Amino acid sequence: MSKAVYDTRYFVEYFYSKDDKELQKVRMEKNRSERYVSAIVIHELYRLVLAREGQETASLRKTTIEEQFKVIPVDSEVAKTSAELRQKYRLSMGDSMIAATALILQAVCITDDPHFKTVREIKTSWI
């Protein structure tokens, strides 16, 4: 599957991994032809980087993601699908929005978060 929706965990590894092998795998994963990210991932990552490194770095990371990935907004279809997945699998709002994005796009979700593995409607993969 060449289409992929990237979870926040991917970007945490990309920007913060201290393991050279893991970092190399993360960077290789970006070679997919169709790369998507939910606007929720922008929120989650921006908040994390803001707390760790400040607004300037958070803005830079946001811009980097926007340049390299297609950002999918939370529209009414994502919201509806997210609510259904959240109810069915007891996911957090963020996880259900990301899973809904992957489901709607029929894309693999790049994550190592075990919550996503419970969602039978999507495929997951890790680096």
Domain range list for the chain: 3-122
Given this model, what pLDDT does residue 56 score?
A: 98
Given this model, what pLDDT does residue 41 score?
A: 98
Model pTM greater than 0.75? yes
Given this model, what pLDDT does residue 22 score?
A: 76
Given this model, what pLDDT does residue 4 score?
A: 96
For residues 33 and 82, give the distance between their C-alpha atoms in angstroms, rounded to a whole number.
25
Weakly modelled stretches of the chain, pLDDT under 50: none
The answer to whether the beta carbons of residues 110 and 123 sit under 8 Å apart is: no
Given this model, what pLDDT does residue 30 score?
A: 67
CA atoms within 13 A on the CB side of 92: 10
CATH topology for 3-122 is Rossmann fold (3.40.50)
For residues 51 and 46, give the distance between their C-alpha atoms in angstroms, rounded to a whole number.
9
Query: What residue type is assigned to position 46 of the chain?
Result: Y
